[in-house]
Each structure stands twice: as C-alpha cells, then as structure tokens.
C-alpha cells in the first residue's frame, strides 16, 4: 500500500529553522498540481510542532507522518 504513494517532490528541511521551513514547504507546494504529494523531512521540537499545523491551516492534507531517529518524514497532499 505504502509503495503505491507516488511522491512528486522531496524536501529535506533538517536544520532549517521556523518559519523558513514552512515558507520552503509552501513554495514547494506551489510548484505541485492539486493531488500531488510532497515529502518533507522535519526536525523534532519546534519544526514538528509548527509546520504541520501551518500546512493544515493553509488547506493541505497531511497523509502520513513517520518518525525516523529524531526526525520526521511527512507526506503532504496538495
């Protein structure tokens, strides 16, 4: 099932602070078509607390969150 998700773009936001990480996510999403998937990697702490909330407020859908060693892989559907 998981392998069927087609990722259109990947963005590693490790070490990128708030709100730059959200702005970069926003810009990346702008390049995608509606329904396409963006994968981002976020740090623990402030980024994981803030970025998903802002993405939701902007009307995008988070479809998966995976915890990988103090980092988070997040799949966002535009």
Q: Provide the minimum distance between the beta carbon of 38 and other proteins in the complex, in angstroms, as a whole number.
A: 14
- What CA–CA distances, in Å, run from 75 to 31, 62, 67? 16, 6, 12
| Angle, vertex CA 7, rays to CA 25 and CA 29, nearest 5 | 25
Work out whether 52 is an interface residue with other proteins (CB under 8 A). Answer: yes
CB 31 within 8 A of CB 1: no
Active site residue 30: no
Question: Per the residue annotation, which of 18, 32, 62, 75 is the catalytic one?
Answer: 18
- Find where tokens 């990722």 sit: 7
Work out whether 18 is an interface residue with other proteins (CB under 8 A). Answer: no
Work out whether 49 is an interface residue with other proteins (CB under 8 A). Answer: yes
Question: Which residues are annotated as catalytic?
Answer: 18
Residues that bind other proteins (CB under 8 A): 44, 48-49, 52-53, 56-57, 61-65, 67
């Amino acid at each position: 099932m998981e392998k069927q998700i087609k990722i259109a773009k990947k963005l590693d936001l490790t070490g990128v602070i708030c709100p730059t990480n959200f702005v970069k996510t926003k810009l990346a999403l702008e390049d995608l078509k509606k329904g396409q998937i963006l994968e981002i990697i976020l740090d623990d702490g402030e980024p994981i607390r803030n970025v998903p909330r802002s993405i939701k407020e902007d009307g995008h859908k988070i479809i998966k969150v995976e915890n990988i060693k103090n980092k988070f892989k997040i799949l966002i559907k535009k």
